[in-house]
């Protein structure tokens, strides 16, 4: 149960709708408040408070909303903290590095999500479909690709009897279902 929830969380952004908008607003407002609190100590074009919030946004939101957080951060920092008293020679390179770092973090989260989705997806004709039976020391084991350790079913003789019985029951079921 916990594993399934974790996999759903890793496969796609957990926040949508109003929760996503609240997260987006918080990811812009909180680092802006932090930056304003240290404005007397830190002057210049520092985007450092915004970086962790862009990363968290990439994890919790869709990629384009995380990109909006990064772009809004540049606009806010440029408007509030890098006004006319700062030379563009400071702001433009800093904004470029921040946007490149943000794009890298967002792309990394998107790639990891894609990788997890690819690992978890199973097509009907794929190699990960079905049960794999194996025999070791007269014991039959069943395993499923990517689904934990194999399960011991019993001795070869016992499992063989059970499988034959199962196949007979399946045939009886098919015959009964063919009758009008």
Nearest-CA neighbor of 112 among 168, 42, 59, 41? 59
What 8-state DSSP symbol labels residue 48? Answer: G
List the single range of 62-76, 103-117, 166-180 with lowest mean pLDDT.
166-180
Host H or E run for residue 94: helix 88-120
> In residues, how long is the chain?
180
147-151: long-range contacts at Cβ-Cβ below 8 A with a sequence spacing of 24 or more? none
* Residue 146: pLDDT over 90: no
Nearest-CA neighbor of 73 among 36, 27, 37? 27
Task: Report whether 51 contacts 88 (CB < 8 A).
Answer: no
Work out the percent of the chain whose per-residue pLDDT is above 90: 28
pTM: 0.61
Separation of alpha carbons 41 and 73, rounded Å? 20
Number of C-beta neighbours around residue 37 at 10 A: 11
Quote the pLDDT of residue 99.
Answer: 93
Host H or E run for residue 37: helix 17-37
């Amino acid at each position: 149960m916990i594993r399934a929830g974790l996999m759903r969380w890793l496969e796609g952004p957990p926040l949508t709708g109003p929760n996503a908008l609240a997260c987006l607003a918080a990811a812009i407002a909180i680092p802006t408040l932090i930056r304003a609190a240290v404005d007397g100590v830190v002057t210049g074009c520092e985007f450092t408070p915004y970086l962790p919030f862009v990363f968290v946004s990439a994890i919790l939101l869709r990629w384009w909303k995380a990109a909006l957080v990064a772009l809004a951060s540049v606009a806010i920092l440029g408007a509030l903290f890098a006004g006319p008293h700062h030379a563009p020679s400071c702001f433009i390179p800093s904004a470029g590095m921040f946007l490149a770092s943000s794009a890298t973090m967002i792309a990394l989260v998107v790639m990891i999500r894609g990788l997890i989705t690819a690992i978890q997806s199973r097509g009907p004709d794929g190699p990960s479909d079905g049960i794999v039976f194996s025999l070791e020391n007269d014991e039959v084991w069943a395993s499923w690709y990517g689904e934990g350790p194999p399960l011991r079913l019993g001795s070869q003789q016992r499992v063989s009897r059970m499988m034959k019985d199962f196949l007979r029951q399946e045939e009886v079921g098919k015959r009964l279902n063919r009758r009008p």
